[in-house]
Copies of this chain bind each other. A is one copy, B any other.
């Protein structure tokens, strides 16, 4: 199972945002939507053995964790509005608590923060990687990152405090190439590396 944590520093935490203005009034919700696309979509299917954990830190109810599970996920199309609609529905769930409540098939929501996720994955013995330009090149370490947890930030990256928190629990940092890319593009590159290792296609 691959798990992707994506931090939306300004992503709003109430369901009354407009799908017509996700970059603006919804606090760059569009970034999270594109990450959902990258995590799950193949040409003719969804990736099943992956999860996305969206960490929404904007107002009025910071913060929320929305978990998408590929095995159970339904009603997701590749366009941004489709993911946005599922996020919206999740935020509209009544009585969100520290325990997950299921919103739509394959989507759960709860209160929680980065520490919540890091502690849980850590205690399960999962390897945790995050992205830095000076990180280890993912090519050649695909076996190492298989079934890992990846942490990505939105346009604001990781804050200093978040990075400190992550560094305590992480296995390492990775890089996917020489240029600085958006989170949803990084996810595609990770998937490709892991796919190739799974099919024995790494060229060395």
Contacts and interface: CB of A to CB of B under 8 A. Distances in A.
Contact of A140 (B77, B78, B82, B203): B203
Contact of A177 (B31, B34, B176, B201): B201
A103 interface: no
Interface in A165-190: 176-182, 185, 188-189
A42 B180 CA distance: 6
Nearest to A155: B43
A196 B178 CA distance: 6
A177 B140 CA distance: 15
Contacts of A43: 179-182
A185 B77 contact: no
Interface in A1-56: 19-20, 22-23, 30-31, 34, 37-38, 41-44
Interface residues on A, range: 35 or more
B34 A185 contact: no
A195 B179 contact: yes
A49 to B, nearest CB: 13
B44 A180 contact: yes
A100 interface: no
A188 B188 CA distance: 7
Given A189-B189, A203-B204, A204-B204, A79 B22 contact: yes
A42 B183 CA distance: 10
A76 to B, nearest CB: 12
A188 to B, nearest CB: 5
Q: Which 3 A-B pairs have the closest CB atoms?
A: A43-B180, A178-B199, A30-B79
Contacts of A88: none
A137 B201 CA distance: 9
Contact of A176 (B23, B31, B80, B192): B192
